[in-house]
Amino acid sequence: MLARRTGKVLLAMATPVLPEQPTLDDVERDQVLGEMEEFLLRAVSAMPRYLLTPFMTLVCTADALAGLRYGRALRRLPTTQRTAIVRRWARGPVGPLRDALKLVRNYALFFYLDHPLVRRSLARAGSERVDGASHKH
């Protein structure tokens, strides 16, 4: 299994792409993100060595580059700054970094949108919209 620090970096790369809706309370969000970190670690750990080594090199480099540029590792930056950096990297000229971010994003979205707390919140929001729309007529 990869180090806990790696999970924090993967989560820092993933959270900027999570949808704003549905909204979760702080306890639910912390639970989902904690479980997502574990999922990301397991998913990346399952990569074959010939993919894992370059992938982890990119992840560690991304974390360190933020530290060199902003004085703090990516995983330690404020959310707004981290979001701006990850979005810039996702559109940037470094293809392998874009690909690494895409992989993390896809894993994260898959996990997030399938999490029971998120699905329940989506169902609640959907039923509230349906109820609100039916009362307008």
The pLDDT-based confidence of 1 (bands split at 50, 70, 90) is: low
Q: What is the pLDDT of residue 89?
A: 87
Sign of CA dihedral 86, 4, 54, 40: negative
Cβ count near 59 (within 10 Å): 22
pTM: 0.84
SS3 state at 42: helix
Write out the H or E segment, with its range, that includes residue 122: helix 116-136
Is residue 14 predicted with pLDDT exceeding 70?
A: yes
Q: What is the pLDDT of residue 21?
A: 85
